[in-house]
Structure 1
Amino acid sequence: MLQKRKELKKCIKCLDDLQKEVSKRKTYKRLMNYMEQLQELQTEVDKRQGPQDGRYSITESLKLPHPIKLPEYTIRFADLDNCGRELLEDALNARCNAYVPYSKFKVGAAFRTKCGRVFTGCNIENVALTPGSCAERTALVKGISEGFKCYDAGAVVAYHESGFTTPCGVCRQFINEFAKTDIPIYIGQAPEVSSKLPAFNDDDEVLVTSIYHLLPHSFTVFK
């Protein structure tokens, strides 16, 4: 009988502990609900009062477009998708034809049309400077002149010891003209030493950005 009483006390103690644990969880849940409600109220108050310094986030502006942007990241060349690797290799090969007697800075680019055709280009300099053409625009002009006016990916390759070389401002605007939505732009660092068969190493770092990241507020006359 004594043993049974001990077991009964033990069971009662377990039940009490469980009851306390349940109460704690219910209390925590109620607390979290109150916190969420307070946060919503605070957000609503902040909206009505406005910021203390008079500045608002541009995401609240109705006069600016807020398109969906592709993710931006870096990745090993070997881990890229087939599209990225092929465009970078095409851009690297196009870079070999760069005409840069003045700057010595070679750039290659490649852009893929919606139907899968790829157009490549290199930068072409001129002694008068302004008639020159960037690699990105060279590639796109070739495709546009053949009737392809919509592109879904691009790549740019150059060598700069401090890091990646992204398109200049003019080229960003030019690329945006023929990208109906955000498109990935693969940026690779070319090998320092030119060779007859240039190639990327598997561990080479690649920047995967997009035209909307490069040009968040493009110029347009259309709504």
Structure 2
Amino acid sequence: MSDKRQLLKKYMRCLDEMKNELKRRQLKKTLKTHMKTLHELECEIKQREGKQATLRQRGRVCDSRNLPHPQMLEEYTTQFCRLSEEARELLESALAARRDAYVPYSKFPVGAAFRSKCGYVYAGCNIENVAFTPGCCAERTALAKGVSEGQMMFTGGAVVAYHPKGFTMPCGVCRQFMREFACRDFPIYIAKAPAPELADRIPAIEDEDEVLVTSVYRLLPHSFSTFE
């Protein structure tokens, strides 16, 4: 009987030793995990400190004497019914011009309208060409109408097209073309035309429809405006 007791004590000691060894291994594993996390945090802190140091060495664009900083109009979104009568007229003129778009290749009609300083509205649509390059965007068509009649200053513009994922913005060429005739910033109203299945909807733009109000200078910041 005493032999069995001694054997039991021996097994109990072995069991305790195994438990202690297991605890040490678990602690070692946990310690390694914590050390790895600590190392990653130290690396991240060093990276952030390096970035902050780099930023402190950089100059702010608004402080540069080599870049013009023209005064820009505010950019925001609003409902169609909250726009001024002049803004709504521009959008409606752009919608009307869009119906005459010549787009046999892209099937993507766009309408644009610009109000000259004298108050007259010039509207235009995009005109495509089988060679693609000779095509003309709606914005340039509308502005060219005004310029060809002696109007060189404009006070507002609008662009209308339909894309299911959002507003259709002027392309880079059109932004530069608009900038040519903007001695000061003027607003550009961007709205979505009705979907093809709702093309005959009246009114074409509902009162609650969203309109992006941006401007020429915001569409083309740091623009090329002089060669002298």
Aligned to 1:41: none
How high is the TM-score relative to the length of structure 2?
Answer: 0.73
How high is the TM-score relative to the length of structure 1?
Answer: 0.75
1:191 aligns with 2:179: no
1:52 aligns with 2:49: no
1:145 aligns with 2:142: no
Percent of aligned pairs sharing the same letter: 62
- Partner Cα distance (1:197, 1:203) in 2: 14
Aligned to 2:218: 213
Structure having the higher Rg:
2
1:128 is displaced (CA, Å) by 0.3
1:222 is displaced (CA, Å) by 4.7
Aligned residue-pair number: 173
**1:191 and 1:198 in contact (8 A); partners too:** no
- Partner Cα distance (1:164, 1:220) in 2: 26
**1:93 and 1:198 in contact (8 A); partners too:** no
1:198 is displaced (CA, Å) by 5.8
**2:72 and 2:217 in contact (8 A); partners too:** yes
- Partner Cα distance (1:144, 1:221) in 2: 19
Aligned to 2:208: 203
Q: Helix, strand or coil: the match of 1:52?
A: helix
Aligned to 2:19: none
**1:92 and 1:198 in contact (8 A); partners too:** no
**2:194 and 2:201 in contact (8 A); partners too:** no
1:179 is displaced (CA, Å) by 1.0
Alpha-carbon spacing, 1:206–1:173, altered in 2? closer, same or farther (3 Å): same
1:197 is displaced (CA, Å) by 5.7
Aligned to 1:92: 95
How big is each residue's C-alpha offset from its partner over 1:22-76, in whole Å with a ceiling of 9 and x where there is no partner? xxxxxxxxxxxxxxxxxxxxxxxxxxxxx83131110010000111110000000
- Partner Cα distance (1:210, 1:220) in 2: 16
Q: Helix, strand or coil: the match of 2:130?
A: coil
Aligned to 1:178: 181
Structure number having the greater helix percentage: 2
- Partner Cα distance (2:213, 2:201) in 1: 26
1:169 is displaced (CA, Å) by 0.3
Q: Helix, strand or coil: the match of 2:191?
A: strand
1:164 is displaced (CA, Å) by 0.5
Amino acid at match of 1:212: Y
**Unaligned regions of 5+ residues in structure 2, if any?**
1-51
**CA-based RMSD:** 1.4
How big is each residue's C-alpha offset from its partner over 1:120-142, in whole Å with a ceiling of 9 and x where there is no partner? 00000000000100000000001
Q: Helix, strand or coil: the match of 1:75?
A: strand
Alpha-carbon spacing, 1:196–1:100, altered in 2? closer, same or farther (3 Å): farther
**Unaligned regions of 5+ residues in structure 1, if any?**
1-50
Runs of 4+, deviation exceeding 3 Å? none
